[in-house]
Amino acid sequence: MKKLLTVITLLICLMALQACGPGFLPDYKALNAQALQFASKEQNSQPRVRCYSGNKQVDRVVDRIAAASDTRNWCVKVEDNAAFNAYVTPDKNVVVFTGLLDFTESDDELAAIIGHEMAHVVLGHSQQKLRDLQTMESIKQSIANSSSTQSAALQRQQLALLAYSLLVAKPYSRERELAADALGLMYLHRGDYDPSAGVRVLSLIHISEPTR
Protein backbone atom coordinates (compact mmCIF):
# COMPACT_ATOMS: atom_id res chain seq x y z
CA MET A 1 0.00 0.00 0.00
CA LYS A 2 2.86 2.37 0.85
CA LYS A 3 4.43 1.74 -2.55
CA LEU A 4 1.18 2.49 -4.35
CA LEU A 5 0.80 5.76 -2.42
CA THR A 6 4.35 6.70 -3.39
CA VAL A 7 3.58 6.03 -7.06
CA ILE A 8 0.38 8.11 -6.87
CA THR A 9 2.19 11.00 -5.16
CA LEU A 10 4.94 11.04 -7.78
CA LEU A 11 2.42 10.83 -10.58
CA ILE A 12 0.50 13.81 -9.19
CA CYS A 13 3.79 15.76 -9.24
CA LEU A 14 4.20 14.91 -12.92
CA MET A 15 0.58 15.87 -13.58
CA ALA A 16 1.20 19.27 -12.02
CA LEU A 17 4.15 19.82 -14.35
CA GLN A 18 1.93 18.96 -17.33
CA ALA A 19 -0.89 21.21 -16.04
CA CYS A 20 -3.25 18.25 -16.02
CA GLY A 21 -6.38 18.17 -13.91
CA PRO A 22 -7.34 15.39 -11.51
CA GLY A 23 -9.47 13.78 -14.22
CA PHE A 24 -6.27 12.58 -15.87
CA LEU A 25 -5.31 10.33 -12.91
CA PRO A 26 -4.98 6.83 -14.39
CA ASP A 27 -7.02 3.86 -13.24
CA TYR A 28 -4.35 1.69 -11.60
CA LYS A 29 -6.48 -1.45 -11.53
CA ALA A 30 -7.24 -1.11 -15.24
CA LEU A 31 -3.59 -0.44 -16.08
CA ASN A 32 -2.43 -3.43 -14.05
CA ALA A 33 -5.08 -5.66 -15.65
CA GLN A 34 -3.98 -4.55 -19.12
CA ALA A 35 -0.33 -5.16 -18.27
CA LEU A 36 -1.12 -8.62 -16.87
CA GLN A 37 -3.09 -9.47 -20.01
CA PHE A 38 -0.12 -8.45 -22.18
CA ALA A 39 2.29 -10.48 -20.01
CA SER A 40 0.00 -13.54 -20.10
CA LYS A 41 0.44 -13.72 -23.88
CA GLU A 42 4.22 -13.95 -23.61
CA GLN A 43 5.84 -17.29 -24.36
CA ASN A 44 7.85 -18.54 -21.39
CA SER A 45 10.26 -20.27 -23.75
CA GLN A 46 11.47 -16.88 -25.00
CA PRO A 47 14.31 -15.06 -23.20
CA ARG A 48 13.64 -11.81 -21.37
CA VAL A 49 16.02 -10.07 -23.75
CA ARG A 50 16.74 -11.68 -27.12
CA CYS A 51 19.64 -9.39 -28.05
CA TYR A 52 21.84 -7.07 -26.01
CA SER A 53 23.52 -3.77 -26.91
CA GLY A 54 26.88 -4.43 -25.28
CA ASN A 55 26.40 -1.43 -22.99
CA LYS A 56 26.41 -2.97 -19.54
CA GLN A 57 24.29 -0.30 -17.87
CA VAL A 58 21.56 -0.27 -20.53
CA ASP A 59 21.45 -4.07 -20.79
CA ARG A 60 21.28 -4.40 -16.99
CA VAL A 61 18.39 -1.93 -16.72
CA VAL A 62 16.36 -3.45 -19.58
CA ASP A 63 16.85 -6.91 -18.07
CA ARG A 64 15.45 -5.78 -14.71
CA ILE A 65 12.52 -3.85 -16.19
CA ALA A 66 11.67 -6.84 -18.42
CA ALA A 67 11.64 -9.06 -15.33
CA ALA A 68 9.59 -6.51 -13.36
CA SER A 69 7.03 -6.31 -16.17
CA ASP A 70 7.07 -10.09 -16.73
CA THR A 71 7.58 -9.51 -20.45
CA ARG A 72 9.95 -11.15 -22.92
CA ASN A 73 11.73 -10.95 -26.26
CA TRP A 74 13.13 -7.42 -26.05
CA CYS A 75 16.09 -6.33 -28.18
CA VAL A 76 18.39 -3.54 -26.98
CA LYS A 77 20.39 -1.07 -29.08
CA VAL A 78 22.44 2.00 -28.16
CA GLU A 79 22.76 4.67 -30.87
CA ASP A 80 25.53 7.25 -31.00
CA ASN A 81 23.30 10.31 -30.96
CA ALA A 82 23.59 13.40 -28.75
CA ALA A 83 19.81 13.76 -28.42
CA PHE A 84 18.22 13.23 -25.01
CA ASN A 85 15.99 10.39 -26.15
CA ALA A 86 15.03 6.73 -26.04
CA TYR A 87 12.19 4.89 -27.71
CA VAL A 88 10.74 1.41 -28.07
CA THR A 89 9.23 0.10 -31.31
CA PRO A 90 6.05 -2.03 -31.40
CA ASP A 91 8.19 -5.12 -32.10
CA LYS A 92 10.07 -4.57 -28.80
CA ASN A 93 13.27 -2.93 -29.99
CA VAL A 94 14.57 -0.71 -27.19
CA VAL A 95 16.72 2.11 -28.62
CA VAL A 96 18.69 4.35 -26.25
CA PHE A 97 20.66 7.41 -27.45
CA THR A 98 24.07 8.12 -25.95
CA GLY A 99 22.84 11.65 -25.18
CA LEU A 100 20.40 10.16 -22.68
CA LEU A 101 23.19 8.14 -21.05
CA ASP A 102 25.29 11.29 -20.70
CA PHE A 103 22.41 13.08 -18.99
CA THR A 104 21.04 10.46 -16.59
CA GLU A 105 22.90 10.21 -13.31
CA SER A 106 21.96 6.72 -12.14
CA ASP A 107 20.42 3.40 -13.08
CA ASP A 108 17.24 4.61 -11.37
CA GLU A 109 16.86 7.57 -13.73
CA LEU A 110 17.65 5.48 -16.80
CA ALA A 111 15.19 2.83 -15.63
CA ALA A 112 12.47 5.49 -15.35
CA ILE A 113 12.88 6.41 -19.02
CA ILE A 114 13.15 2.84 -20.25
CA GLY A 115 10.26 1.68 -18.06
CA HIS A 116 8.11 4.51 -19.41
CA GLU A 117 8.91 3.63 -23.03
CA MET A 118 8.38 -0.11 -22.51
CA ALA A 119 5.06 0.68 -20.83
CA HIS A 120 3.91 2.38 -24.05
CA VAL A 121 4.34 -0.95 -25.86
CA VAL A 122 2.68 -2.97 -23.09
CA LEU A 123 -0.32 -0.59 -23.14
CA GLY A 124 -0.60 -0.72 -26.94
CA HIS A 125 0.23 2.96 -27.53
CA SER A 126 3.11 2.29 -29.94
CA GLN A 127 1.01 -0.13 -31.95
CA GLN A 128 -1.84 2.41 -32.23
CA LYS A 129 0.54 5.14 -33.38
CA LEU A 130 1.92 2.79 -36.04
CA ARG A 131 -1.61 1.97 -37.23
CA ASP A 132 -2.43 5.68 -37.44
CA LEU A 133 0.66 6.36 -39.54
CA GLN A 134 -0.18 3.40 -41.79
CA THR A 135 -3.69 4.81 -42.24
CA MET A 136 -2.23 8.17 -43.26
CA GLU A 137 0.04 6.47 -45.79
CA SER A 138 -2.88 4.46 -47.18
CA ILE A 139 -4.94 7.64 -47.70
CA LYS A 140 -1.98 9.32 -49.39
CA GLN A 141 -1.64 6.39 -51.78
CA SER A 142 -5.37 6.47 -52.52
CA ILE A 143 -5.13 10.17 -53.38
CA ALA A 144 -2.17 9.52 -55.69
CA ASN A 145 -4.01 6.71 -57.49
CA SER A 146 -7.43 8.38 -57.65
CA SER A 147 -8.81 9.29 -61.07
CA SER A 148 -11.72 11.24 -59.63
CA THR A 149 -11.12 14.87 -58.71
CA GLN A 150 -14.03 14.82 -56.26
CA SER A 151 -12.84 11.59 -54.63
CA ALA A 152 -9.31 12.90 -54.33
CA ALA A 153 -10.56 16.12 -52.75
CA LEU A 154 -12.56 14.16 -50.15
CA GLN A 155 -9.55 11.96 -49.35
CA ARG A 156 -7.34 15.03 -48.98
CA GLN A 157 -9.82 16.36 -46.47
CA GLN A 158 -9.74 13.05 -44.58
CA LEU A 159 -5.95 13.07 -44.59
CA ALA A 160 -5.85 16.64 -43.31
CA LEU A 161 -8.24 15.80 -40.47
CA LEU A 162 -6.25 12.70 -39.51
CA ALA A 163 -2.95 14.58 -39.68
CA TYR A 164 -4.38 17.34 -37.49
CA SER A 165 -5.61 14.74 -35.00
CA LEU A 166 -2.22 13.01 -34.86
CA LEU A 167 0.13 15.96 -35.05
CA VAL A 168 -1.75 18.89 -33.51
CA ALA A 169 -4.81 18.02 -31.45
CA LYS A 170 -3.62 14.65 -30.06
CA PRO A 171 -6.66 14.36 -27.79
CA TYR A 172 -5.46 11.28 -25.91
CA SER A 173 -1.72 11.90 -25.77
CA ARG A 174 -1.60 13.31 -22.22
CA GLU A 175 -3.64 10.37 -20.96
CA ARG A 176 -1.29 7.96 -22.74
CA GLU A 177 1.77 9.66 -21.30
CA LEU A 178 0.39 9.59 -17.77
CA ALA A 179 -0.64 5.95 -18.16
CA ALA A 180 2.91 5.10 -19.27
CA ASP A 181 4.27 7.14 -16.35
CA ALA A 182 2.07 5.24 -13.90
CA LEU A 183 2.87 1.78 -15.24
CA GLY A 184 6.55 2.66 -15.61
CA LEU A 185 6.72 3.79 -11.98
CA MET A 186 5.09 0.52 -10.94
CA TYR A 187 7.80 -1.33 -12.88
CA LEU A 188 10.46 0.68 -11.02
CA HIS A 189 9.05 -0.45 -7.68
CA ARG A 190 8.91 -4.06 -8.78
CA GLY A 191 12.47 -3.84 -10.08
CA ASP A 192 13.71 -2.36 -6.77
CA TYR A 193 14.57 1.01 -8.31
CA ASP A 194 13.84 4.35 -6.67
CA PRO A 195 10.78 5.83 -8.45
CA SER A 196 11.46 9.33 -7.09
CA ALA A 197 14.69 9.42 -9.11
CA GLY A 198 12.60 9.17 -12.25
CA VAL A 199 10.62 12.34 -11.61
CA ARG A 200 13.51 14.57 -12.71
CA VAL A 201 14.01 12.94 -16.10
CA LEU A 202 10.31 12.26 -16.77
CA SER A 203 9.54 15.88 -15.95
CA LEU A 204 12.12 17.08 -18.46
CA ILE A 205 10.64 14.82 -21.12
CA HIS A 206 7.13 16.17 -20.54
CA ILE A 207 8.34 19.79 -20.51
CA SER A 208 10.33 19.45 -23.74
CA GLU A 209 7.77 17.18 -25.43
CA PRO A 210 4.43 17.75 -23.66
CA THR A 211 2.43 15.59 -26.08
CA ARG A 212 3.24 12.79 -28.49
The model's pLDDT over 107-156, given as tens digits with 9 standing for 90+, comes to 999 999 999 999 999 998 766 665 665 666 666 666 666 655 656 666 66
Beta strands in the chain (DSSP E): 49-51, 74-79, 86-88, 93-97
Amino acid 148: pLDDT: 58
Map residue 51 onto helix, strand or coil: strand
Which of 208, 126, 212 lies closest to 177 in space, CA to CA? 212
Amino acid 208 reads: S
| Order of all β-strands in the sheet with 74-79 | 49-51, 74-79, 93-97, 86-88
Phi and psi based region of residue 19 (left: phi greater than 0; alpha: psi -120 to 50; beta: remaining): left
Q: State if pTM tops 0.75.
A: no
What digits encode the pLDDT tens for the residues 169-198? 454 477 788 888 889 988 998 999 988 887
